[in-house]
Amino acid sequence: MIKVAVMGYGTIGSGVAEILDQNRDVIAGQAGQDVELKYVLDLRDFPDSPVADKIVHDFKVIEQDGEVEIVVETMGGLNPAYPFVKACLEAGKHVITSNKALVAAYGTELLQIARDKNVNFFFEASVGGGIPIIRPLYRCLMGERIEEITGILNGTTNFILTKMDKEGASFEGALKEAQNLGYAERNPEADVEGHDTCRKIAILTAMATGREVNFEDIYTEGITKITDVDFKYAEKMGTSVKLFGTSRISGGRVSAFVAPVMIGKDHPLYAVSDVYNGIMVRGNMLGTSMFYGSGAGKLPTASAVIADIIEAAQNMKRNVRLGWTSERQAVEPMDRVSFRYFIRMAGTYRNKEQDVRAAFGPVEVVELYGMDEFAVLTREMTEGEMKAAVSGYNASEAERSEYGVKQTIRAMV
């Protein structure tokens, strides 16, 4: 029998305890022996829960119990998750985590300790909730050169954008709902400002390149500036706006970004709605493969944790190599990345046509009835060129009372 401890009995930790109980026979069959939950570490007691008799408040109980061979970390954040996970690995225990903040910040070091101690550090649930993506990268796609990963990687923001798009919901109302459903981070700024997606694309890029990626090198923009007006244009254009995490890998160079992107109906990620995530992986031999499923939530995410527990149980005496080394991967500056741009401007196109064309060159124009503004879709240009064009346009318009660019969204249409 293998004894497991769970640290953090919140949304995901309680899901892990529930699946360990409900799927006991399936898990034992795959693990080759029974897997039993021995301790649950949390700050609170849960007297009415099925784990009431397993609750402990002192981490040392888990660290020092030689019977506990697998520890699951579902507390979130870096402190005390990082020192606790490190101590468990150093004590020769396998560790499974759903905590992308931890993996993005300390993955390289924790994987090295796991290798040194001949144990495993697995984190399938840290990206895409219940979607299998980490294991496919190091196992099924191990013979591929990965050229691109583009994903809708955050359930909360996809839920919010879908509610705004399809139901005309307010940003605040949709966020509240996502929080009530257990999708959002403790501090939802991590979701809506794109930091969560940034950490996830950094982890996927490290898996794809085999090199450590500093998530702080990745350009990150969230969804807080997206408004109902943007969705009115999107409806007219037959497009939608999604938060993308993208990494393109070519000749040892990586360009990566997190940003809202306007996409058309023919884009493979267009139909990914609500809390669902979708991840497109392009390999040099494979072509494009799609991974789709629940990107957040109790049982889908806990299901990914359980698969890691089983993988650890199947490799109790062996460190499974994930291919993520301590070599550092540089990330190209965002100014060199090219897009088309959806740009909203004050006034009427009829009055501004000359200035628009002078700044942006040929554009497609989109107008909404009754609005004192219009939008254009530019040709493809680099971020650097776009910024220069926006400054030039704003300068040419500066004399007027209502003037200038009101919104810029990258477009893949």
Ligand X SMILES: N[C@@H](CC=O)C(=O)O
Ligand Y SMILES: NC(=O)C1=CN([C@@H]2O[C@H](COP(=O)(O)OP(=O)(O)OC[C@H]3O[C@@H](n4cnc5c(N)ncnc54)[C@H](OP(=O)(O)O)[C@@H]3O)[C@@H](O)[C@H]2O)C=CC1
- Residues with a catalytic annotation lie at 200
199 binds, among ligand X, ligand Y, none (CB under 5 to 8 A by kind): none
Span interacting with ligand Y, options 11-19, 60-68, 111-119, 200-208, rule CB under 6 A? 11-19
Instruction: Give 159 or 341: the residue with its C-beta nearer to ligand X.
Output: 159
Three-state DSSP at 33 gives coil
Return the C-alpha torsion angle 324, 185, 255, 219, nearest 10. Answer: -140
Contact track, ligand X, 122-141, x by CB under 6 A: -------x------------
| Residue 185 binds to ligand X (criterion: CB under 6 A) | yes
Instruction: Give 76 or 283: the residue with its C-beta nearer to ligand Y.
Output: 76
Q: Is 8 annotated as contributing to ligand binding?
A: yes
191 binds, among ligand X, ligand Y, none (CB under 5 to 8 A by kind): ligand X
Q: How far apart are CA 40 and CA 72, in angstroms?
A: 9
318 pairs with which residues across the strands?
Answer: none
Please state the closest distance from residue 305 (CB atom) to ligand X, in A: 12
Residues 17, 40: contact at Cβ < 8 Å? yes
Q: How far apart are CA 133 and CA 109, in angstroms?
A: 21
Cβ neighbors of 23 (< 8 A, separation 6 or more) are: 306
Contact track, ligand X, 383-412, x by CB under 6 A: ------------------------------
- DSSP of 328-369: BPPB--GGG-EEEEEEEEES-HHHHHHHHHHHH-S-EEE--T
Residue 71, number of CB atoms within 10 A of its CB: 27
Instruction: Give 295 or 347: the residue with its C-beta nearer to ligand X.
Output: 295
Please state the closest distance from residue 273 (CB atom) to ligand Y, in A: 17
Span interacting with ligand Y, options 92-100, 107-115, 219-227, 258-266, rule CB under 6 A? 92-100
| Residue 10 binds to ligand Y (criterion: CB under 6 A) | yes
Report, in this order, helix, strand and coil percent for the chain, each rounded to 5.
Answer: 40, 25, 35
411 pairs with which residues across the strands?
Answer: 262, 340
Instruction: Using CB under 6 A, pick the residue from 103, 184, 256, 269 that binds ligand X.
Output: 184
Q: Is 11 annotated as contributing to ligand binding?
A: yes
| Residues of this chain, 121-140, that bind ligand Y according to CB under 6 A | 125, 129
- Size of interface with ligand X, in residues (CB under 6 A): 11
75 binds, among ligand Y, ligand X, none (CB under 5 to 8 A by kind): ligand Y
Kindly report the backbone phi and psi dihedral angles of residue 175, in degrees, each rounded to the nearest multiple of 5, phi listed first. Answer: -65, -45
Q: Which of 84, 141, 131, 78 is nearest to 106 (CA)?
A: 78
| Residues of this chain, 14-53, that bind ligand Y according to CB under 6 A | 41-44
Query: From the annotation, which residues make up the binding site for NADPH?
Result: 100
Query: From the annotation, which residues make up the binding site for L-homoserine?
Result: 185
